[in-house]
Amino acid sequence: MTSWLGTPLPRKEDPALLTGAARFIDDMAPVPGIAHVALLRSPHAHARIRSIDTVVALEMEGVIGIVTGAELAEGLRPLASALRAPMTYYPMAVDVARYVGEPVALVAAVDRYLAEDALEAILVDYEPLSAVVDPAAAAGDEAPKVHESMDSNLVHQRHFCYGDPEAAFAVADETISLSWHYPRQSCTPMETCGVIAHFESHPARYTLWSNFQGPYILHGLMSAALGVDGNRLRLISAPSSGGSFGNKQAMFPQMVMLAAVSRLLGVPLKWIEDRLENLQAGSCASDRADAVSGAFAADGTLLGLRYDNLMNAGAYVRAPEPASLYRMHAASNGCYRVRDIAVDNRVALTNLPPVGLNRGYGGPQFYYGLERLMDSAGRRLGLDPLAMRRRNIIPADAFPYEAPAGATYDAGDYESVLDLVAERADYPALLAERETARSEGRLFGIGMAMGVEPSGSNMAYVTLAQSPEERAKADGRSGGPGSATVSFDPSGVVTVRTVSTPAGQGHATVAAQIVADRLGLHPDDITVNTQADTFTSDWSLASGNYANRFSSVVVDAIALAADRIAGRLRRIAGDMLEVAPEDVELGDGRACIVGVPDQGLPIRRVAARAHWHPLGLPEGEPAMLRETAVVSPDVLTSPDEQDRVGSAVTFGVVCDLAAVEIDRATGRATVHSYVSVHDCGTILNPLVAEGQVLGGFAHGFGAAFLEELDYDEGGNFLSGSFAEYLCPTAPDMPDIETATVTTPSPRNAVGSKGMGDGSAMLTPSAIANAVADALGREDIEIPLTLNRLWRLAQA
C-alpha cells in the first residue's frame, strides 16, 4: 500500500497561487457598500494633539465620514496589556501621539484614492514634546516620560535564578562577557495586513474578515475593547495569506479600530495596509540592549550563564508582549548541559512603534548572545567552534531532558547533528582553507551557531512576567490545545478542517498526506480547509498560526480524528463484508479483507452508507462520518513557584556553520560556504521542509547583512521604503547546503517537531561569529552592512 507521509508531494496550494486564482483579503468584497479607509498618522515621535480640524475634508468628494482618536475612544475600552502599568492604549492616539506613524484620524470614502486625498485636508495642531528612542536612555531617571501618568519608562523588571550561578562563576577558570545592541527588524511579508469590518445593529454584532494569523486569545481582548460578548464578534480569515512571519498577529488594534468605526459611521469598511505603513508602524522585532556572561572551565565546559536583557517595547506594551523576552526563557540553556543560570529581564518604553511577533520571536536576540558567547569562549580557550559545542551539548541518552528553567526537551541526537555538519562542510578541509587564507593576509572566518527550536507554545509562558505571588492571585494559565475535524460527505468525499490559518507553509498538503495514509486514500481525494471562522470553526484561544504549532500540535489532532474515522470505516466495511473490523484493511481507495485484496469495497461506497443507509449500520454506529479531535499537550503546564514552565511541546535542534571572507578594500563579505542541519523529527514532506529552511535562512541572512528599521535621535523614521530598508533578493542569496537528522518526537502521533524558525534564529549568530573570527574581534553588531564591515576591516 502507498504511504504518503514523508513523500515529497508537490503542494496542493501552489496551482491556485501560480495561476492567480488564490483569493487574498484585498480580493474580497463579502458585503455590499464597502467604504475604503485611509489613516492619518502622526509625523511626530511625541506630540500633544491640541486640535484636529476636519471641516474641509468632510466636504470633499466621496468622503463618507472622519473619526478622530478622541471620538473613537468614547465608544471603546482601552486595549488590555499583559503588564499592569498606568498607561492607556487605544488603536488611535487620543490626546498625545507617542510615535511617528501612530494613527490620529481615520477617513472613510468611496475609494482609497479619495480617502487619501482627504487626509491632506485635515489640519492637526501639534505641540511637539521631547522624545526618547534608545531603551538604555529611556530606562534612566532623566529620560522624557513616554506616558505622563507613569513615574518611569521602565515598566517591567524581574530577576530569575536557576541552580547556583554565583558558585559557578566563583570557580570558573575563565569568565567571558559580551554586550551589544540588537536592531529593530521587520519580516516584510509579500502581502501586507488587511481588514474588512461590518457592524450589524440587529442584533448588535461585528463581523471581520482579515488575514489575521491568530492566536485567537486576542479575540477576547478585541471583544472586551468593543464591549460585546465573544459570540457577537465573528472573525473570518481570508482563504489565502501572502506570508506573515508574525507580522499579522499584531493587527488586532486595527481590527478593533475598523469595527468601532463601522458602528460609528454605519457602513462596512475596508483597509489595506500599504508598504510605508507596514514598515513605519507595523509589527516588528524589538530592538534590545543586552549582555551575557559565561563561566567556563579551562577545558571549555560551560559552568554558568548570566543574561541581562533590556527590551524596547515601543510606546505601548502591545499583547502578547513582553512575550518575546520569555519565549526562549524556559530553554535558556540552549542545547547545552549548563544548569546554573541567572536572568535579568527589563522592558522600557520609548517613542517608537510597539513591537510584536517576528519570525523566530525572541529567538534571534537570545541566540545572538548565547552563540556569540560560545564562539568567543572557544577563541579564548583555544577550541574551535565544533569542539566547543561537542564539549557542552546534551547527550543523546539524556532525553527527555529537563532544562533548568522548566522546558522538557522531547528527543534529540545532537552529536549526530554535529557529525553531519562536519561532514557536509568538510570541516578539516575548511579549517585548512582558513589557515591558507590567513597566511596570504586574507580575512577568512568560520562561525557556528547551534540551538533548540521550541514549537507548540504554552499560552502560559508569558505569565513569567508576573511574580509567583501575582500569579497565585490570578486564575491559572496553561496549555495550547489543537483541533481538527475529518468528515466524509454523502458522496464519499473527505474534508479536513483545521484553524491553523497558514501563510504559505503547506498545511493543506501535509494534512492531506496524514489523512490519506490513515484512510487508505490518495491526497488528491482529500479537501483541506485551513481557514478560521469563530462562528463555525472548532477553535480555542491557542488556535492560529504561530510558533510552528501545526507540525507539533495540530498534526496530532488531524491524525487522531482520521484514526477515529478509519476505525468507523472498518466497522461499517466489516459489517458489509461479513468479517470482523480487525480483518479489514484500508488502502488504495478500497476497504478489503486482510490478505484477500480482491474481496473489498470502494471506501467511498462504505462511507456513503453512513449517510444514505444509517439504519443499515452496525449496532451502535452513529449516522454520518464526522470526527472532531482536540488535543491538549500535558507538558504545557502553568509556571511553578520557582518560575519553571513547560514552554513548548517539541524541541528540534538546528546547527548552522558559516565560512565568510571579507574584502579588505571594499568591506564586501562573501559567504564562502554555509551548511544548515536540522533535526525536526519525522519529515512530513521533504519539499515543504526544504522550503521552510530556505525561507528561514533568507530572513536570517537579511537580518545579518542588511535589515534595520532606522530612526534618528528624535524618533523620525528613516527606512520608509525598500530603498532604505534593504532586503535580500534572489541574486544576493548564497548557496546553502541543508541536511536533516531524524529523532522522532514522542509528543504526537507522527513524530514530527516544529520547524521553519530555526534558520531565522541561528543565521545572524553564525554569520556574526564567522565575521568575528575573520576580523579577530568580538565587538560585532548586526546588520553587517558594507560600510560597517569596511570600517571594521580597515581597523
What is the pTM assigned to this prediction?
A: 0.96
pLDDT at 1 over 80: no
Residue type for position 40: L
The CATH architecture of the domain made up of 162-183+284-460+638-794 is: 2-Layer Sandwich (3.30)
pLDDT of residue 86: 84
pLDDT of residue 397: 97
| CB 547, CB 455: distance < 8 Å | yes
Which residues, other chains included, contact 202 with Cβ-Cβ below 8 Å and sequence gap of 6+?
none
pLDDT digits (tens, 9 = 90+) for 560-581: 999 999 999 999 999 999 999 9
| CB 455, CB 754: distance < 8 Å | yes
pLDDT of residue 215: 84
Which residues, other chains included, contact 776 with Cβ-Cβ below 8 Å and sequence gap of 6+?
none
Q: What angle do CA 603, 605, 610 make, to 5 degrees?
A: 100
Segments making up each domain of the chain, as ranges: 31-129+193-272, 162-183+284-460+638-794, 481-631
Beta strand 669-679 pairing with 737-740: parallel
- Please state which CATH number belongs to domain 481-631: 3.30.365.10
pLDDT digits (tens, 9 = 90+) for 345-380: 999 999 999 999 999 999 999 999 999 999 999 999
Q: Can you say whether residue 620 is alpha, beta or left, with left for phi > 0 and alpha for psi between -120 and 50 degrees?
A: left
pLDDT digits (tens, 9 = 90+) for 76-121: 999 998 888 888 999 999 999 999 999 999 999 999 999 999 999 9
Of 424, 419, 432, residue with least CA distance to 658:
424
Largest CA distance in the chain: 85
Of 744, 754, 750, residue with least CA distance to 689:
754
Cell numbers at 556, concatenated:
496530532
Q: How far, in Å, are 1, 393, 396 from residue 400 at the CA level?
A: 34, 14, 9
The domains spanning 162-183+284-460+638-794 and 481-631 adopt the same CATH topology: yes
pLDDT digits (tens, 9 = 90+) for 123-157: 999 999 999 999 999 999 999 999 999 999 999 99
Q: How confident is the model at residue 468 (pLDDT cuts 50, 70, 90)?
A: very high
| CB 25, CB 196: distance < 8 Å | yes
CATH 3.50.50.60 fits 31-129+193-272, yes or no: no
User: How many Å apart are CA 655 and CA 663, to the nearest integer?
Assistant: 26
Of 780, 786, 757, 792, residue with least CA distance to 183:
780
